[in-house]
Amino acid sequence: MQALAAKNAQAAAGPPRQCAVPARTGSRCSRRPAQPARKAQPIFASADKVSPLKAQAVDDIAVYTEVSTQSVADAQVKLDKPRVVVLGSGWASACFFKALPKDIKEKYEVVMVSPRNYFLYTPLLPAVAVGTMEERSIVEPVRNLVLGKGDYYEAVCKAIDPVRKELVACFPKDAGLDEACFKIAYDILIIGVGSVNNTFGVKGVAEYCQFFKSIEDANTLRKRISECFERAALPYTPEEERKKLLSFVICGGGPTGVEVAAEIHDFVFNDLKAHYPELLKDVRIRVIELMDYVLSTYDRKIGEFTHKQFERAGIELVLNTRVASVRDGYVSVVPKSGEEFEIPFGSCVWATGIAMNPLIKELQQQFPEQTHFRSALTDEFLRVKGSDGSIWAFGDASTIEQPRALQRADELFEQADTNKDGLVGLKELQALLTEASKEFSHLEEHARFLEAKNKRFGGLLQRALAGNSNGAESPMQTVEETDELTKEQFKALLEKIDSGLRALPATAQVAKQQGEYLAEVLKRGSFDQQAKVLQPNEKQAPFKYNHKGSLAYVGGDQAVMDIPKVGPIFGTGAGIMWKGYETFAQISLRNQLLVISDWVRTKLFGRDISRV
Ligand SMILES: Cc1cc2nc3c(=O)[nH]c(=O)nc-3n(C[C@H](O)[C@H](O)[C@H](O)COP(=O)(O)OP(=O)(O)OC[C@H]3O[C@@H](n4cnc5c(N)ncnc54)[C@H](O)[C@@H]3O)c2cc1C
């Protein structure tokens, strides 16, 4: 740590040497003319941000070298290789490293930078929250993944300078030691920083609800459930207080919300039942969902099955209801038809959707081409738009740019307005979107949404449009059945649709495939020494997503699956397949074995109810 701090001071003090290529501090590099010292924070002067990309001299690339814990000799062996820096250790980055061949180090110096030194298998996170799985069974140290292929620095990237091709990263303060910031030069940057939780501006969420994204979140929930039961079991706990403690509220009826509710139910009625028999009557598990059924991005039959399964189990679905605000122990909700009311809770889980990682926001300021409100826009090879091929992005942090419908708005309006009254009604709009989706594929889900709205399905695809289960950002929410749009309103709607365009869902499946794809691009492509960019092999095809299906656990050893060409499958058989899949899909054999042993342990001995 001290070494890091000392080297950090050295990095902050200014560039000591100049090398032919981005390099670690090495004695053979020639001394560069003295430059003014740069502070670690703030890292980049605003002038840097606006300077045109191509105007920057290549010399400057090597100005700042990272704090290196490697020996000088070791650093010099790597001097002639382009450096690839990969941000993040999530699905995209971990699968990228896993897919890299060992001999990649002959060609590139690959470095992972991430504050989390392990990969987390998120689909089984709800199972960790109740002890079905142990946390260590679903995490894999990233050092195992990078071993023999590259390096790893535990640090959060704070800023990217695409002109100098360098970034600033800091060993996180929350790791218990002092924060230590350093700079690292890159030739190729791959961004896989994922997303952050989205409160949708609902007051009190950050203070009183629990997010559900990390291993810490799962552990906190596990402890909270235990605390609520122990507190409720104390003698003389007033009835009202007991009921409040045993009320578990889950905001969001998407796959995460549904699985959390199902796991809590399993835990209470399989494992806690024998220990707190007198408390069971007071337990309430509620899922609040804006739509009129849960799992709304899956086939409708799956939502219906889950509804019935939850009804049988006693999990309450509070549908067609929006969360208005949260205060200590109370969530305030507004039904679509009805008055606002409060639900008391012992624990409230917020599982509604994702928002843009702040690092992408910062990147957007440097590239005018970056206009998407949720992620970094890339081309179909996953190159970040505007970066000339030196920055790539994958996973939740990115989205592939789609052709924009707005550019053809006038023509589309004429086409839509079949009765030529200068207005476009809901049915005309739906017909147009269906037709235009042959050219603009992102319009298809909107067309299907309107169709659902027409059929009073209550917004079959609203969640998909909004990219979250409370649908707060769906442009189609603003269209009423009686609406007739003028040309200006029609254009405004298309603009909204275009700006929220996400080519692919934010899922592990997409991130994994993109990670494997970029590993292939790196392996088969070449580094253009003149342009200083990664050139994909001329035979390299653009990224193509292969959707293998969606699945969710719904409790009582039952699961639901929506598989292309097969259709919906649900029940106990699906439950067995789900367990098999979640075991097989682990990132390492070690994880697979640990997960199997956890399923067996839970079946034989039940879940561990101690709060450790
Ligand atoms: C509870 C839960 C269950 C899920 N279940 C499923 C499922 O069943 N199926 C499915 O397909 N998807 C599922 N998902 C979604 C899936 O986890 C995400 O789509 C996936 O993790 C995205 O991968 P990623 O690599 O883009 O980002 P992540 O996996 O989120 O990883 C992001 C990484 O970036 C790091 N990072 C963040 N900021 C910085 C920074 N500034 N600098 C450096 N590193 C940074 C983080 O520490 C992390 O290592 C689930 C998600 C959750 C939360």
Ligand 1 geometric centre to CA of 324 (Å): 27
High-pLDDT (> 70) share of the chain, %: 79
> pTM to 2 decimals?
0.78
Q: Which pLDDT value is given to residue 441? A: 62
Which tokens sit at 119? Answer: 């990969």
Q: Of 22-31, 55-64, 311-320, 406-415, which range is least confident?
A: 55-64
How far apart (Å, rounded) are the C-alpha atoms in residues 52 and 61? 15
High-pLDDT (> 90) share of the chain, %: 59
Closest residue by Cα to atom 41, ligand 1, is 157
Per residue in 340-390, pLDDT (tens digit) is 999 999 999 999 989 999 999 999 888 988 888 788 999 999 999 999 899
Atom of ligand 1 minimally distant from the CA of 358: 41
Closest residue by Cα to atom 4, ligand 1, is 123
Q: Chain-wide mean pLDDT for the chain?
A: 82
3-class SS string, 537-604? CCCCCCCCCCCCCEEEEEECCEEEEEECCCEEEEEHHHHHHHHHHHHHCCCCHHHHHHHHHHHHHHHH
Atom of ligand 1 minimally distant from the CA of 260: 1
Pocket test for ligand 1, best of 111, 113, 114 (most atoms within 8 A of CB): 114
Question: DSSP secondary structure string, 15-83?
Answer: --EE-SSS----TTSEEPPP-----SSS-S-HHHHHS-GGGS-GGGGGSS-----S-HHHHHHTTTS-E
Between 80 and 400, residue with greater pLDDT: 400
Compute the average pLDDT of residues 582-589: 96
Residue found by looking up tokens 């994702």 in the block:
354
Ligand 1 geometric centre to CA of 3 (Å): 31
Compute the average pLDDT of residues 509-524: 97
> Taking the CB of residue 55, how many other CB atoms lie within 10 A of it?
7
Q: Which pLDDT value is given to residue 502? A: 63
Pocket test for ligand 1, best of 135, 179, 396 (most atoms within 8 A of CB): 396
Phi, psi (degrees; rounded to nearest 5) at 464: -65, -40
Are residues 77 and 70 in contact, defined by beta-carbon separation less than 8 angstroms?
A: no
Compute the average pLDDT of residues 153-158: 96
**CATH second-level architecture of 215-355+547-604?**
3-Layer(bba) Sandwich (3.50)
> Taking the CB of residue 25, how many other CB atoms lie within 10 A of it?
19
How far apart (Å, rounded) are the C-alpha atoms in residues 114 and 170? 9
Compute the average pLDDT of residues 59-73: 32
Q: Which pLDDT value is given to residue 449? A: 66
- Any alpha helices (H) in 91-211, and if so which ranges? 91-99, 104-107, 125-128, 142-146, 205-208
Are residues 61 and 165 in contact, defined by beta-carbon separation less than 8 angstroms?
A: yes
3-state secondary structure of 355: strand
On the question of a common fold for 83-115+155-195+357-399 and 215-355+547-604, the answer reads yes
Pocket test for ligand 1, best of 193, 298, 551 (most atoms within 8 A of CB): 193
What DSSP state is assigned to residue 299? Answer: -
Q: Of 160-164, 588-592, 597-601, 608-612, which range is least confident?
A: 608-612
Atom of ligand 1 minimally distant from the CA of 396: 26
Are residues 253 and 291 in contact, defined by beta-carbon separation less than 8 angstroms?
A: yes
Atom of ligand 1 minimally distant from the CA of 194: 27
Cα angle vertex 168, ends 163, 32, to 5°? 65
Closest residue by Cα to atom 29, ligand 1, is 90
How far apart (Å, rounded) are the C-alpha atoms in residues 5 and 271? 48
Atom of ligand 1 minimally distant from the CA of 552: 8
Compute the average pLDDT of residues 10-39: 34
Sequence-ordered strand ranges (E) for 375-467: 376-378, 391-393, 398-400, 424-425
Cα angle vertex 473, ends 469, 479, to 5°? 110
Single out the residue of 174, 189, 180 nearest to residue 153, CA to CA.
180
Q: Which pLDDT value is given to residue 285? A: 98
Q: Which residues contact 507 (CB under 8 A, 6 or more apart)?
A: none
Are residues 287 and 310 in contact, defined by beta-carbon separation less than 8 angstroms?
A: yes
Q: Which pLDDT value is given to residue 427? A: 79
Phi, psi (degrees; rounded to nearest 5) at 243: -65, -40
Are residues 431 and 416 in contact, defined by beta-carbon separation less than 8 angstroms?
A: yes
Q: Which pLDDT value is given to residue 350? A: 97
Ligand 1 geometric centre to CA of 513 (Å): 14
Report the phi/psi class of residue 487: left, alpha or beta, with left for phi > 0 and alpha for psi in -120 to 50: alpha
Q: Which pLDDT value is given to residue 419? A: 83
Closest residue by Cα to atom 46, ligand 1, is 88
Between 447 and 528, residue with greater pLDDT: 528
How far apart (Å, rounded) are the C-alpha atoms in residues 44 and 38? 9
Compute the average pLDDT of residues 335-340: 89
Which tokens sit at 246? Answer: 């045993």
Pocket test for ligand 1, best of 85, 91, 153, 584 (most atoms within 8 A of CB): 91
Pocket test for ligand 1, best of 122, 158, 189 (most atoms within 8 A of CB): 122
> Taking the CB of residue 438, how many other CB atoms lie within 10 A of it?
9
Q: Is the pLDDT of residue 468 over 50?
A: no
How far apart (Å, rounded) are the C-alpha atoms in residues 499 and 478? 15
Pocket test for ligand 1, best of 198, 507, 518, 562 (most atoms within 8 A of CB): 507
Q: Which pLDDT value is given to residue 482? A: 63
Per residue in 102-152, pLDDT (tens digit) is 999 999 999 999 999 999 999 999 999 999 999 999 999 999 999 999 999
CATH classification for the domain delimited by 83-115+155-195+357-399, as one of 3.40.50.2000, 3.40.50.300, 3.90.1660.10, 3.50.50.60: 3.50.50.60
Compute the average pLDDT of residues 179-186: 93
Atom of ligand 1 minimally distant from the CA of 92: 25
Query: In terms of DSSP bridges, do strands 109-114 and 83-87 run parallel, antiparallel, or are they unpaired?
Result: parallel
Closest residue by Cα to atom 49, ligand 1, is 89
Ligand 1 geometric centre to CA of 251 (Å): 20
Phi, psi (degrees; rounded to nearest 5) at 546: -115, 100
Give the helix, strand, coil percentages of the chain, each rounded to 5: 40, 20, 40
Report the phi/psi class of residue 425: left, alpha or beta, with left for phi > 0 and alpha for psi in -120 to 50: beta
Q: Which pLDDT value is given to residue 26? A: 31
Ligand 1 geometric centre to CA of 435 (Å): 35
Q: Which pLDDT value is given to residue 47? A: 30
Atom of ligand 1 minimally distant from the CA of 157: 42
Q: Is the pLDDT of residue 262 over 60?
A: yes
Compute the average pLDDT of residues 507-523: 97
Ligand 1 geometric centre to CA of 138 (Å): 13
Ligand 1 geometric centre to CA of 57 (Å): 36
Q: Is the pLDDT of residue 23 over 90?
A: no
Instruction: Enumerate residues lining ligand 1, CB below 6 A.
Output: 87-93, 113-116, 122-123, 125, 156-157, 192-194, 212-213, 255-256, 357, 359, 395-397, 506-509, 511
Ligand 1 geometric centre to CA of 332 (Å): 29
Per-residue confidence at 302, pLDDT binned at 50, 70, 90?
very high
Q: Of 58-62, 103-107, 600-604, which range is least confident?
A: 58-62
Q: Which pLDDT value is given to residue 512? A: 97
Q: Of 24-28, 278-282, 314-318, 572-576, which range is least confident?
A: 24-28
Q: Which pLDDT value is given to residue 110? A: 96
The domain limits of the chain are 83-115+155-195+357-399, 215-355+547-604, 405-456+476-500
CA dihedral 148, 151, 156, 159 (to 10 degrees): -130
Compute the average pLDDT of residues 51-60: 28
Ligand 1 geometric centre to CA of 91 (Å): 6
Between 174 and 428, residue with greater pLDDT: 428
Which tokens sit at 140? Answer: 């894999």
Q: Is the pLDDT of residue 301 over 80?
A: yes
Closest residue by Cα to atom 31, ligand 1, is 90
